Structure 1
Amino acid sequence: MLMKKLIPVIYLLCIHWISCAQEIPQKVPIPESELMRLPIKEIVTNYYNGNFYIGTANHGKLIDELSGRIAAREFDYMTPANDFKQSYIHPTYDSWRWELPDNWITYAKDKKIRLRLHSPISPQCSKWVKEDNRTPEELTRMLEEYMTQLCIRYANQPNVQWIDVVNETIAKENVKDPVFGDQKRGEWFGARQGTSLWENPWTIIGFDAESEIRTPLYINKAFEIATQYAPSGVKLIINQHGNFEEVVWERMKKLVSYLREKGYRVDGLGWQAHIDTGWEKIPGNVERLDKFISWCHQHSLEFHITEMNVWIKDGDTTRETEQAETYGKVTSTLLKHVHEGVVGISFWNVRDEDTPNEKWMGCLWDNAGRARPGYERIKQELINHITQ
């Protein structure tokens, strides 16, 4: 009789043990030296179970070049750089360009690659949008046309796993502007005079005056459209730049709460992580990152590093080992959280010459395709996590 009563308990315990085992990276029976010879994607595919993603950005024009060959060898997750942005697809009312985005969809299907569409309503907009005489009505129409057609055309594609809906919404530094007024770090990043400066003209559309944080209406509209057209399997992301300033990410928390109260779907947060070598040595940086990832998972949000570079701005090649330490520390900080929820890293471009800041040597590969020490260090962190 006692045994009969225990059978359901034993069954439930077995189910629990099995489910836990599925969440934990599997112990590796092969030597570490052999693992180090594998491409990054094979380590992640074989020994992680869907809670960790690692990839790179690349330009469509480079798919068949050296950068494209390296990317295809090492990663099965890619971000098509700037090829899905409003500035390319729909720069004016009368122009639409789909060639590069369509090519990416075909490429992803052929190579079995998952895509994150870096297609946000953001400062990466066309010169037409930045012109100072744009009206709220004109910008609203442009936003609606672009975001709606983007989602209709691509959100149901099987290889599309994430969509960046907005980007760089919060100012990372103080800005003075004679036309649109001053902006403070931690407040909304907005329009600036002319078309040559880094700016976010979409705030001209207006603000929700009833919102505690006076949320820009362009963010509402972008998430309204994405929520309407993107299936639940495609995750909707807010992307943000900066050095992980606390005041910025506190506002981000309030933005997530606001959008969800409106009924819009927010599935994850992304931090670009264009950082300098030695970022991890600045007191508080790693701790804030670690704590914020936990906050994301506690609130059912994925956390992604979306555009990582580790710059060596003085061009000193002897600092590549130091650069590797920064790559390693950020990677290990994310890996601490794979049992809590989804985390991911995407690097911003493959080789230095693919970036606007070639001389800063911020990529994992140099222009000749030589892997820097940071590449090996990242693999070592991945292996450490599954063997210890």
Structure 2
Amino acid sequence: MTTLSGAAARATATDREIAAAEAHSAHNYHPLPVVVASAEGAWVTDVEGRRYLDMLAGYSALNFGHGNPRLIAAAKAQLDRVTLTSRAFHHDRFARFCTELAELCGMETVLPMNTGAEAVETAVKTARKWGYQVKGVPDGKAKIVVAAGNFHGRTTTIVSFSTDPEARADFGPYTPGFTVVPYGDLAALEAAVDEFTVAVLLEPIQGEAGVLVPPDGYLAGVRRVTAERGVLFVADEIQSGLGRTGTTFACEHEGVVPDMYVLGKALGGGVVPVSAVVSSRAVLGVFRPGEHGSTFGGNPLACAVGLEVLAMLRTGEYQERATTLGARLHAELRELLGDGTGPLTAVRGRGLWAGIDVAPSLGTGRALSERLLTRGLLVKDTHGSTLRLAPPLVITEEDLDWGLARLRSVLSS
């Protein structure tokens, strides 16, 4: 009979799971020390039966909560029918998904993909091809203006225009063709647009940077500049879109409609990866068969889940919840900001989405995330002393208040 060593015998289920993960997976993330075994709504339960309030929601992928009954039912029904055909054949969910997503966006054409990064890559390729074929930019000269502090994914092309050393360092040589300007600086953006510019690619609210909301009028100014110069305005709404900020799209807060939406995360309802580029026929029509594609993009299971997401968004219920509960969230956070002597040094965000900068004397964002974990609250840090809060839109007032009370307690202790 084999006996466990003293250390192994004392190891918890959490310890064992984490040790196994670290032994056999590459370290591309630094997860908090919790191992989730089940989840429902805004709550998750770990392998030892402890419950936590999820205030991150998969970086907005779980806008409709964990295990949303409508989405799970849609997925289960489709699993019994057909899950994948590849794009070599048509299937009976594809046309309806593309039609309804185009209608939600007020546009004409949809190109489905899987992940957010794939959708951004698709947008880059679309803008360049449009620039050469429609705008008449000389071959190889196309430029795209982007913003400092951006986060659009981690593919080789995308990190080429990242300003985050952690995401960019040691992955060169980098893809040319991008001009980086300060986020929120309309004059700098306007100066960067020239005859070779084919697109401006922006997050209406920068998520990874700490939920940075641009100055009032910025998005409207970008829309004006791009329209005047014959340049595409591409809005990356992967995190900010689909109800998170209180409107279907964050661009709506300034009454702006871009030339192209890049969507993902919540489009798959936290069930399957679904992303899409949505634009006019004149823009996405530049592609011909064989020039771009994805085996899994727009697969039957993805379309079935995506269709249910679209149906839920059409009611306006989730946008309203984000507005109402978001006001409650930001009111509490402003109290913690106080008159400059509180535990928070800055509060940013819109709807059920906030970035808070914590006074350095209270510790790093990572340390605070770990302390909140011990109190049953899941959040995630970014860039040192910043925490991001993005609870599922299905969270109740009572649960939101419960989470904010624990945040207040930890920040005040």
Using the size of structure 1 for normalisation, the TM-score is 0.28
